[in-house]
Amino acid sequence: MNTPNTHYDTLSRALHWLTAIAVIAAFILGPEHFGREMRQGLDPATRWDIVVHETLGLLVMTLTLLRLVWVAVRPAQPRFDMPGWMHLTARATHGLLWLMLLAVPMSALLALGSEGHPLTLLGGLRINEMPVIAQSPLANLADWGDVHGMLGDMILWLSGLHAVAALYHHFFLKDGVLMSMLRSRR
């Protein structure tokens, strides 16, 4: 008989925590009003906080795409006994988090591309224009800078709730959910 899976595999855990740290760091370094400053002519390459923010954000997107490939082929994720509504809420929250992990960086690329601002990354990497985005019908659909700022706030709120739920499982339900993401099976 197969032993039930009680812990996430090492790669899933590593990618989860690396992504969580990168999201929180990108949020903390989300330099206030820098969209407006760029519209006033600021070259983002001259500001380390913008360069680090954009690099961390693209790291989040890359890690998320890698994670999604891994999710498709990895060992089954752990399952815990819990009421149906709790299981559904957890699934819905994870689904939304996955969506936001892609939507937050993508909205930033739409903002830069549609307003003609450069993408500036650590190591002096720079893409001055993104014509594919600028000429796409999506470019004029919204103020993507505003959308990005809003989504950036939302992902933090959602992951805050998600973290509180994980702590509730650990301290009140004592059911091993948090440990499944923290360490390997002993």
Kindly tell me which of 91 and 135 has the beta carbon lying closer to ligand HEM. Answer: 91
**Total of residues contacting ligand HEM (CB under 6 A):** 47
* Calpha distance 7→180 (Å, rounded): 4
* Calpha distance 90→165 (Å, rounded): 9
Kindly tell me which of 1 and 69 has the beta carbon lying closer to ligand HEM. Answer: 69
Specify burial of residue 137 (Cβ count, 10 A radius: 0-12, 13-18, 19+).
exposed
CB distance 118 to 128 below 8 Å = yes
* Calpha distance 75→3 (Å, rounded): 13
Stretch that binds ligand HEM, among 123-131, 132-140, 145-153 (CB under 6 A): 145-153
What are the E-state strand segments in the chain?
119-120, 126-127
* Calpha distance 16→85 (Å, rounded): 24
Binding residue for ligand HEM, selected from 20, 42, 52, 142, defined by CB under 6 A: 20
Strand partners, 59: none
Stretch that binds ligand HEM, among 107-115, 122-130, 132-140 (CB under 6 A): 107-115
Binding mask 39-68 for ligand HEM (x = CB under 6 A): --------------xx--xx-x--------
Q: Please report how close the Cβ of residue 2 comes to ligand HEM at its closest, in angstroms.
A: 18
* Calpha distance 125→51 (Å, rounded): 10
Binding residue for ligand HEM, selected from 32, 123, 131, 186, defined by CB under 6 A: 32
Chain residues that interact with ligand HEM, rule: CB under 6 A: 12, 16, 19-20, 23-24, 26-27, 30, 32-35, 53-54, 57-58, 60, 71, 77, 90, 94, 97-98, 101, 104-105, 108-109, 111-112, 119, 145, 148-149, 152-153, 155, 159, 162-163, 166-167, 177-178, 180-181
